[in-house]
Structures are given as C-alpha cells and as structure tokens.
Chains A and B, each alone.
Chain A
Amino acid sequence: MIQRISADVTIIGGGLVGSSAALAMRKAGLAVVLIDKGFCGAQASGVNYGGVRRQGRPPEQLPLSQRAHGIWPRLKALVGIDGEYVPSGHLKLARTEADFAKLEAYAEIAKPYGLDLELVGAAALKTRFPWLSAAGAGASLCPGDGHANPRLVSPAFARAAERAGVKVFEQTPVRDVRATGSGFAVLAGENVEIRSRQIVNSAGAWSDTFAAQFGESVPLTRIYPSMVVTEPLPVRLPVSMGEQGGSFYGRQVARGNYVMGGGRGAALADPDFSRPSVTAASSVMQRAIALFPHLANAQVIRFWSGTEAEMPDGNPVIGASQTTPGLFHAFGFCGAGFQIAPAVGEVLLELVATGQSTTPIDAFSIGRFSQVAAQTAVSL
C-alpha cells in the first residue's frame, strides 16, 4: 500500500544541512518531510573531524560562516544538547616562513569579516603556547573557533526537527523525483510518495545525481578524509589545531582522546562506505608525534573515514536551481560543511519562503558550472 503525503517542502538528505533546514522551516510554520536513505546524521555530518572553524575559509564563505558562528553557542536551546561544542580557539601553525606569509595574507583578507585573528611569530610561539613542543615559523589563532562532537550534533538536529513536527523518514532512499508542474513528486523507499511545492537537494556526496536529473550536471567528486583517534589521555591540548596546507589537524575531546586527521582514504566497493588509508593515517601519526612527543607511546584505537562531496573551486553549491523553479540545492561542502551547515539551514528557509537569502551566497550558484561548461564549449 502506498503511503501518500503532501507537504510544503521535501528535503532529500538528512545530514546536518538537510536537518538544520528542516528544523528552521518547521519553526517557521512550514510542513516539511525529511528523507534519508540511511540514518540522519550518519554520513559526513556524523563522522567528520568536528572542527567548528571559520579560519582558513575562502572569503566568500565568511559571511555565512559568521552567521553559523552565532548559532553554535545556542545549540542547547535549539536542539536540546550542547553537542560538546567548545569555543576553544583554532590555532593554525606555519611550518615554514612561506606558510607564515600565507597566514599573514589571510589575516589581512579576513579582517573585514570579524574573525579577530591573532598572528603569533616564531619567537612568541613557545611563550604563548607552552604546551606546543614543535618549533614553527609562526601561527594564527582564531579565538572564537572551536570544536564539537559531530556524532551527537547532527542526529540531534534531525531529532529536534522531528519533535517540532517534521515528518522524518530514515532508511528510505529517494528513488525518483519528478517535477509535476505545480510542484514535485518524490518516490522513496518501497512505498512512500510525497508531493510538495518545493524541494531541497541536500544529499551530500550523492547530490549530483539529483541535480543531473534536472539538467544540471555538476563536477562533483568524492573525497574521504582520513581520521585517527587515540585512547583517552590526560587533558593537555587546549585548542583545535591545524597546519597551513591541511596535512594535519588535531583536537583533544573532553574524554581525553586525541582526534586527528589528514590525507585521504579510499572508497569501498559500496561507495557509501570508505576506508581510511594506512599511508594517510601513518603520516598523521608521525606528524602528531613531531608536534606532541608525549604521544609517542599512546595507543591508536581506531581509524575511520567518511564520504564527502568536493567541488573544483572549493566552494559549495547553495541556491535555487537554474532549470526548475521550486528546487533548491545545498551540497558540495568540500570537507568544511559542518561548521556552516546550521547557517545554510537558515538560508534555505529564507530561499523557500522569500526566494532571497539575507546572507550573500552568489558565489555558490549552481550556474557557475554551466557557465564554465558553456565557455569551454564556445572556446572549442
């Protein structure tokens, strides 16, 4: 028997992007259906490193990132848990003079956006961060950045949305989406059919197939960041940190485990799942010991990875479809969507309700790829 449902908005994909959009829309009074092929917040949104980081983002993302920065401290009120969010500060280390020059240049670019970056030269590193063992050419501290626990935060958004009245379907893959003239018909799972005026494509690394169905092919590729976690150790690392270039990042959680990442893993035969690469994990471990010699005899208890969508220019796709009225895209966060997702959810509400975002998102238009495609076609 077919289960027929109608709603204002259907959201495909219950990652943090889809779930936060569902929550925001429901609170604005819309009837929302949220669908995930697995469990909400079990893909990239639930297994990422947990960096709640603005520092280092391309400037066009900073307004959105700043908006999200205002949401993170309100998690408890918003979704019922604090998600282990700590605004610990994010420290970006430069190993070489050239890297430090990049940090200086970035600080200049980021100034208008209010990140309050603090540059620390080589000489001051040791006195400013006595826990840091490795020498470096300098660092940049973003005091308001921090980290949170993705496996708690992302499912909590979906649960909060459900409590607010969103109809949530899990383990229900969307099999077909069609424009009906007055809206959309979505077929999901064995027997669910949803009709809605509007639709959001927030299917993460799987979004390209839905975009393509509406004539918008995008150059999305999949990446699998490689992660390593140690056994719990005495608390010592007060900030979330990374290195210019991105080959190493690490934080220590409240329970004492060091969560660290760098490099890329590989997909399994079932591309929904991936494996961290031993090479990547091993280089993360080597770098960790160089930075924190006290970790040399610590035990690693788990490697993992997750499936994330990357776009060639390092920016996500957020905004209205260029072919189909009522369709909105939000995907392709290039390994950095955790921090901004709650703001993307609010923007998606604005888009479905008013057609306009109060935060600039022009740089993320899906049209930028069709223009590229058109230009290449012309130049051929």
Chain B
Amino acid sequence: MTDALPIVIVGAGPAGIRAAEQMVEAGIRPIVLDEGLRAGGQIYRRPMIDDGRSYRNRYGSEARKAEQLHAAFERLRPAIEYRPETLAWNVSGQERGGHLDMMTDGVHNQIAFSKLLLCTGATDRVLPFPGWTRPGVFTLGAAQTALKAQGCTVGDRLVFMGSGPLLYLVAWQYMKAGATVAAVLDTAPLRSKIHLVSLFARAPRIVALGLFYGAQLQLSGVKIRYGVRPETVIGADRVEGIRFQASGCTQELECDAIAYGFALRPETQLADLAGCRFRFEDRDRTWLPERDALGRTSRKDVYVSGDGSGIAGADAAEIDGQLAALAILNDVGKTVEGDRLRQLMAARARILRQREILENAFPFPRDWFETVPAETTLCRCEEISIGEIRRAVEAGNIGEINRMKALSRVGMGRCQGRMCSVAATEVLRSIRNVEPQETGRLRAQAPVKPIPLGFGGPLDREAGR
C-alpha cells in the first residue's frame, strides 16, 4: 500500500533538481517542493521576474552551470509535481507512515510519503560582534542574493569581512557591479592561504578563479587585510564605517555597508524532526544527520543530500542529488547501474577532499569570543547578550546547549536557533573550555520556521495514525 505513496523531495536547488531528474528518468513522478518562488536554490538563485540580465552577467564564472540546471528543471516540469512557495515545516509519524507538513500561501497541507529526500541546503554562518545588528550590516550570502535576485547592491561603498571562499567572490561581484569595495577583511591569517598551493594540484580551476578575484581586487586598489578581528561597527543609526584590529594595530575604514560571514551552516531541522540520528562533524563544526555515501539516514524512508547533509558546495550537491536518487531507486526495487554509481561516488569523494583543504585555507575563527565584549547581542530574536548568557551559564552551572536555551532563552525566539546556535555553541564552548561536540546538540522543534496561527482548517489526518 505504501508503495503507492509519493516520493517527496524538499528543496529545488542543485541537489533536489538533479535528484528529481534521475527519478524521472527511471519513470517516477516525484513531488518537488521549495519555499522559494522559483527553482534553482541558493547559488543559482533566480530573480523573481526576469530582468533582462544575461546569465553571464548574473552568475559570472558559473553561468553555464546555472543555465544548464535551470534548463534541466524546465524540462522536468511536466514530469514532476512541482510545488513552489511551499514551506515544509514538520515531519511527523514514525518509520513507515511518515507525513510531511507543509504550508503553501498560508494554507496548511499534509502529505504521506513513501520516501522523503531532504535537499534543504544551507544558509550563512555568522558570529556576533559589536554593531552587527545595525542597519547596513548584511551576511555575505544576503549581499549576493541582492545582486543575483534583485539586481541591486546593499551599499555603494562596502567592506567585506569574514572567512570562506564566498568572501573574495562576493567582493569581486560587487566591484563588477559598479560598487566601491573599500576593503576585504579576511579573519584568517595570511599563512592559511598556503593550503591553496596543495589545492591547486587537485582543483586548479577553483584556485585559479580565487587568485583571479584576489588579483583583480588588488589591482583595483582594494585593501586586503588578514588575521582581522572587528572591534565595532561605526555609526549610531546605521553603518558609517568599521574599526578593526589587524597586524596588531587598530584601523578604521569608512563604508555604508558591511557584508560578512564565515562559510555556511546546513539546514538540518527536518532531518532532526524526522528522528534521524546525528553525529558531530568537525569539518563543518556542527551536527549532521548520519548518512551513508549515498545519503541514506538512520531512518529507513528518509534521505539527505547536498549542503543540508554537510557543506560541500554546488558541484558536489549536483552529484549528491543523483546519488540519493539512485539510492532511493535501488531501495524501491529498481535496477541501478553499478558503474555509474561508482563514478558518481568517486567524483563526490574528490570534491570532499578539496573541501578539507579549503577549510584550512579559510578557517573558522575558533577564538572569536575571546575578543567580543559581553554587552554584544548574540540572540537577536530574544535580545540576549553574551554577558547574559555567561551569567545564566555560570548561575545554573550549565554545560549543555538545551539547558542553556532553557535558562537563558537563547534560541527560543522566531529563528528557533537556526541562526544563532552556531554562535551560542561557540560561547558555551569557550566558557566551559571544551570542544563544541561536548556541549550537545540543540534539538529542533516544529515548525521549522514561524507559521501563522490561522494557517488552515482542522486537520483530518493524525500523525502516524
């Protein structure tokens, strides 16, 4: 009976689209849903309405891949059930008999699935510093989304700060778009870039592109600083500049916008709600659903793929989506070509090795909270400062993140810790002087994102019944 139930894919980014394609080839009609208005995911995000810009203009070096992915999706449209603007906010039911709770245009809906593939991607990883909540401070990804999807910049004179490959890319994209880039403030030390040398042997294109962005920025007179720690955003009501430490001295720069971030954090709440087992991944410094090489989780009917199962980038996501689809096809009794499986697995493994090196070249600032003052807000939803957290942790003798949430309210607000739990973990870790995995994992609760109270009529189906 359950075989008649649909296969559902959450997320129409590179992973989700390639997975759907693979299933359609095998004669299956999956349901594909995505919160966004148009398919494409994060890197190949499309504007709400076409604005006449060329692919080259919008996606730069990745134009060809973007065009191919979008074209692939358009070809798939008649062969899949596509539900755009649909938020998946809960997975209920136990093994066999799972349901996905969704909301489309404010209306609730629940579907029973036979297989659920989560391709939920990632969002920016941010850490607090004095002034980070002031108007004019953006994440790197948001700054880029403004360019790609809205065709506008977030400022005229910008400072880019943080760590990760996106840092130089987005700065370069802004320069290309005609904005003034005041500086790129890399929080990693210059010596970390030595790892790019070993990466060159494995992935010359990535390194060449990176060097190209860096060189073009420098040639245009953009200041690049390494080993940076921000002191504060300057400006009372909005960004007027930034004060920071680099090479042992304090410096100031004028700007009207700051874009910053530290690579990405995966979206794993649905896998958590589905009851998948998690493990700590040191590379991403976070908890990830346990998965095999193809994306099977500890729950038989739930699969994960792409950045939402561990950050590996868009190329890996395209491969990973196909792998997860092949796993599902195999598990529903279709024949899967062994050679193809092995090829894809080898390609994914290659990218994962590159990812290790990239992580060394753009390391996460593990000592961040040694310099951020106590009055800095950490949890924006509940307006909790680092000092308040510290007091709660010390008063309650807390060493575990869910206890910290209960006693300090961090992660209890609208974002439910999606945005602040990286920082919250780092704070707790630094107070306790332990490794992040020792502080435990913040448990997800439905809904994954806020939903309106009047979101639909009474439900006719009970979870798991």
Residues in A lying within 8 Å of B, measured CB to CB? 39, 42, 46, 151-152, 155, 159, 230-231, 255, 266, 268-269, 273, 275-279, 282-283, 285-286, 288-289, 295-304
Contact = CB atoms under 8 A, between A and B. Distances in A.
Contacts of B443: 273
Given A266-B463, A278-B463, A279-B459, A39 B403 contact: yes
A186 to B, nearest CB: 23
Contacts of B446: 275-276, 278, 302-303
Contacts of A304: 445
Interface stretch (B51-59, B320-328, B449-457): B449-457
A230 B458 CA distance: 18
CB-based closest 7 A-B pairs: A299-B450, A296-B454, A151-B406, A279-B462, A285-B453, A302-B445, A298-B453
11 contacts: A39-B400, A151-B406, A273-B443, A276-B446, A285-B454, A286-B458, A289-B453, A299-B453, A300-B447, A301-B414, A301-B450
A297 B443 CA distance: 27
B451 A300 contact: yes
A119 to B, nearest CB: 30
Contact of A278 (B110, B397, B413): B110
B464 interface: yes
A299 B451 contact: yes
A283 B460 CA distance: 11
Contacts of B37: none
Contact of A300 (B92, B110, B453, B456): B453
Contacts of A277: 92, 462-463
Contacts of B462: 277-279
A155 B452 contact: no
B359 interface: no
A198 to B, nearest CB: 27
Given A278-B99, A301-B414, A302-B446, 16 more contacts: A46-B406, A151-B406, A152-B407, A155-B396, A155-B406, A159-B397, A275-B273, A285-B455, A288-B453, A297-B452, A298-B453, A300-B447, A301-B450, A302-B412, A302-B416, A303-B445
Nearest to A273: B443
Interface string B74-87: 00000000000000
A278 B92 contact: yes
Contact of A266 (B397, B413, B464): B464
Given A277-B462, A279-B462, A296 B453 contact: yes
Contacts, number: 96
Contacts of A39: 400, 403
B306 interface: no
B94 interface: yes
A299 B463 CA distance: 22
Interface of B: 90, 92, 94, 99, 101, 108, 110, 273, 275, 382, 395-397, 400, 402-403, 406-407, 412-414, 416, 443, 445-447, 450-459, 461-464
A102 B455 CA distance: 33
A295 B452 CA distance: 9
B101 A289 contact: no
Interface class of chain B by DSSP = loop
Contact of A296 (B110, B397, B445, B452): B452
Given A151-B406, A275-B92, A299 B459 contact: no
A300 B450 contact: yes
A190 B99 CA distance: 39
A268 B464 CA distance: 11
Contacts of A286: 457-458
B275 A268 contact: yes
Given A269-B275, A277-B462, A286-B458, A231 B452 contact: no
Contacts of A268: 275
Nearest to A267: B94
Contacts of A283: 458
Given A151-B406, A155-B396, A283-B458, A301 B413 contact: yes
B459 A278 contact: yes
**Highest count of chain A CB atoms <10 Å: which of B412, B416, B461:** B412
B7 to A, nearest CB: 21
A331 to B, nearest CB: 22
A251 B450 CA distance: 19
Contacts of B94: 269
B104 to A, nearest CB: 16
A300 B452 CA distance: 6
A213 B443 CA distance: 33
A151 B396 CA distance: 12
Contacts of A296: 452-454
Contacts of B445: 302-304
**Highest count of chain B CB atoms <10 Å: which of A278, A289, A303:** A278
A377 to B, nearest CB: 35
Given A277-B462, A278-B92, A299 B452 contact: yes
B396 A278 contact: no
A300 B275 CA distance: 22
B459 to A, nearest CB: 5
Nearest to A297: B452
A302 B452 CA distance: 11
B406 A298 contact: no
A213 B458 CA distance: 44
Nearest to B415: A301
Contacts of B416: 301-302
A282 B458 contact: yes
A282 B110 CA distance: 12
Contacts of A46: 406
Contacts of B406: 42, 46, 151, 155
Contact of A297 (B92, B400, B453): B453
B458 A299 contact: no
A242 B443 CA distance: 29
Contacts of B454: 285, 289, 295-297
Contacts of A152: 407
A271 to B, nearest CB: 12
A279 B453 contact: no
**Highest count of chain A CB atoms <10 Å: which of B101, B273, B454:** B454
A230 B414 contact: no
A295 B458 contact: no
A268 B110 CA distance: 20
**Highest count of chain A CB atoms <10 Å: which of B101, B382, B412, B453:** B453
Nearest to B99: A278
B147 to A, nearest CB: 29
Contacts of B456: 282
Contact of B453 (A155, A230, A273): A230
Contacts of B463: 266, 275, 277-279
A299 B99 CA distance: 22
A47 B452 CA distance: 23
Nearest to B106: A297
A269 B90 CA distance: 17
Nearest to A304: B445
Contacts of A155: 396, 406-407
